[in-house]
Amino acid sequence: MSVSETDSFLGKYFSEVTLLMTSAKDPQSAALLVAKNTSNEYSLEIFESFFALHNLHKEISSILDKFSGKSAFLVKVITIDLLVLSIKFYVIAWSTMLDLAASLVSKVFNLGISEKDINIDLILRNKHVQKTEVANILKAYTRQSDYNLFRNHRNEIVHRGKIVDDEVVQLQNEQNHLFSKRYSLLNTKQISDEEFQKEYKQLTAKIEVLASAKKTSYKSHYDRMVKMILDLTVPLAHKTFEIYMLGATRSNEVTS
Global pTM reads: 0.89
Angle (deg, nearest 10), helices 166-183 and 80-108: 150
pLDDT of res. 71:
75
Band (pLDDT 50/70/90 cuts) for residue 253 is: very low
Rounded CA-CA distance 50/104 in Å is 7
Band (pLDDT 50/70/90 cuts) for residue 3 is: very low
Q: What is the mean pLDDT of the chain?
A: 91
| Per-residue model confidence as pLDDT tens digits over 117-150 | 999 999 999 999 999 999 999 999 999 999 999 9
Average pLDDT over residues 173-189: 86
The values of phi and psi at residue 55, to 5°, are -65, -40
pLDDT of res. 187:
72
pLDDT of res. 254:
36
pLDDT at residue 98 greater than cutoff 70:
yes
Strand partners, 76: 71
Average pLDDT over residues 177-199: 88
pLDDT of res. 250:
62
Band (pLDDT 50/70/90 cuts) for residue 7 is: low
Instruction: Report the number of distinct structural domains present in the chain.
Output: 1
Judge whether 139 and 133 are in contact, CB under 8 Å. Answer: no
pLDDT at residue 256 greater than cutoff 50:
no
Rounded CA-CA distance 224/229 in Å is 9
What percentage of the chain exceeds 70 in pLDDT? 93
Band (pLDDT 50/70/90 cuts) for residue 90 is: very high
pLDDT of res. 6:
52
pLDDT of res. 50:
96
Boundaries of domain holding 207 = 4-255
DSSP letter string over the chain? --TGGGGHHHHHHHHHHHHHHHTSSSHHHHHHHHHHHTTSHHHHHHHHHHHHHHHHHHHHHHHHHHTT-EEETTEEE--HHHHHHHHHHHHHHHHHHHHHHHHHHHHHTT----GGG--HHHHHH-HHHHTSHHHHHHHHHHHHTTHHHHHHHHHHHHHH-----HHHHHHHHHHHHHHHHHH-TT-SSPPPHHHHHHHHHHHHHHHHHHHHHHHHHHHHHHHHHHHHHHHHHHHHHHHHHHHHHHHHHHHHHHH-
DSSP letter string over 49-113? HHHHHHHHHHHHHHHHHHTT-EEETTEEE--HHHHHHHHHHHHHHHHHHHHHHHHHHHHHTT---
